[in-house]
Amino acid sequence: MQPPANVSDSVPIETAHEDMIHDAQLDYYGKRLATCSSDRTVKVFDVVEGDSSKLSAGQTLKGHTGPVWQIAWGHPKFGQILASCSYDGKVLIWKEQPQGWTKVREHALHTASVNSISWAPHELGPMLACASSDGKISVLTFKDDGQWAADIFNGHAIGCNAVSWAPAVQPGSLITPQQSQQPIPGQSPAQSTPSVKRFATAGCDNLVRIWAFREDSQSWIEEDVLEGHADWVRDVAWAPNIGLPRSYIATASQDKTVLIWTKDTPTSPWVKTALDPSSALTSPVPGAPTPAASPAGKFPDVVWRVSWSLAGNLLAVSCGDGKVTLWKENLKGVWECVSDMNS
């Protein structure tokens, strides 16, 4: 393997937050940046065209009474919509109106910190999943009558840290039509394939749980449980599906490991593979002491976040030592570190 390239063209951006920033997300087109902080605010900036290192003055959204952990942009087909979750136990949904950003929904059914939020694939309509320290998961759904409906159910006994939606189509549905499904006249087999409502959650019980919506009972059921971590699972990310006949889920844990879970067919079991940071030739930090070698399969510190590229073939891993590494599966099915960046 070639030594990974060091990503050196990162540029710091001033946001004027008064405390630690917990999340930053670009919108669908990469033209707006939203940030959230322990100062209890969300800020929305326009990215200056031609210079991504410059931001407009931005607008500050106030409504939370505690640190804001995460933000999530809705799909632009539903307008300019942004959701935020906080230690105050609330989820706020903001929408840009002619007069500026306005709070259009306050979701306050949780009794503890809401740690993670995730919008469903746009094919499913405006749906937002929320994960809370009270151990419950809630799903907000925008109805035809203009109201938001909320489903809430028990997820992880001692708290839920993260949530991530599965793609709206079954793996392989774009290249292999489902034999049991009769095509709809005027549509291709891929278009007539029913959408799938499914997401994964990561918990303080060291487990990842997969939930699916049952149309017959109109309820969410636990479809699978993934066991493999030895401590809290801090993050979970379901890879986008570009039509290939396989599902990928990445999980990050307090136990300093990252696991890649794969599933070849709807009936096959999930198979886990651990990333091996000891095999990566990471770039040294100038002036920093050489870090002690970590055990095989373990990162130097707690792994906090994992995130897939839009194509689902590149995984970013954010570690507590301030380093972000990029991983890719080679033709032999082995995951390799292809790049790294120091914060």
**Looking at residue 105, what is its pLDDT?**
96
- Cβ partners under 8 Å of residue 162, min gap 6: 115, 116, 131, 201, 202, 233, 234, 235, 236
Residue 33: pLDDT over 60: yes
**Looking at residue 2, what is its pLDDT?**
44
Tell me the mean pLDDT in the region 149-160: 96
Tell me the mean pLDDT in the region 116-134: 97
Percent of the chain with pLDDT over 90: 69
Residue 93 near residue 83 (C-beta atoms within 8 A): yes
Beta strands at 5-6 and 335-342: parallel, antiparallel or unpaired: parallel
Classify each residue of 68-88 as buried b or exposed e, where b means 16 or more C-beta atoms within 10 Å of its C-beta: bbbbbbbbeeeebbbbbbbbb
CA–CA separation, 215 and 220 (whole Å) = 9
Per-domain residue ranges of the chain: 244-343
Residue with tokens 């839920």: 160
The CA R_g of the chain, rounded to the nearest whole Å, is 20
**Looking at residue 186, what is its pLDDT?**
44
Residue 290: pLDDT over 60: no
Tell me the mean pLDDT in the region 226-242: 95
**Looking at residue 182, what is its pLDDT?**
43
Percent of the chain with pLDDT over 70: 83
Residue 58: pLDDT over 90: no
> DSSP 3-state assignment of 321?
coil
Residue-averaged pLDDT of the chain: 87
Identify any residues that bridge with 169 across adjacent strands, giving them in sequence order. Answer: none
**Looking at residue 296, what is its pLDDT?**
61
**Looking at residue 294, what is its pLDDT?**
52
Residue 251 near residue 233 (C-beta atoms within 8 A): yes
- Cβ partners under 8 Å of residue 173, min gap 6: 189, 190, 193, 243
CA–CA separation, 41 and 318 (whole Å) = 23
DSSP string, 23-76: EEEE-TTS-EEEEEETTSEEEEEEBPTT-TT-B---EEEE--SS-EEEEEEPPG
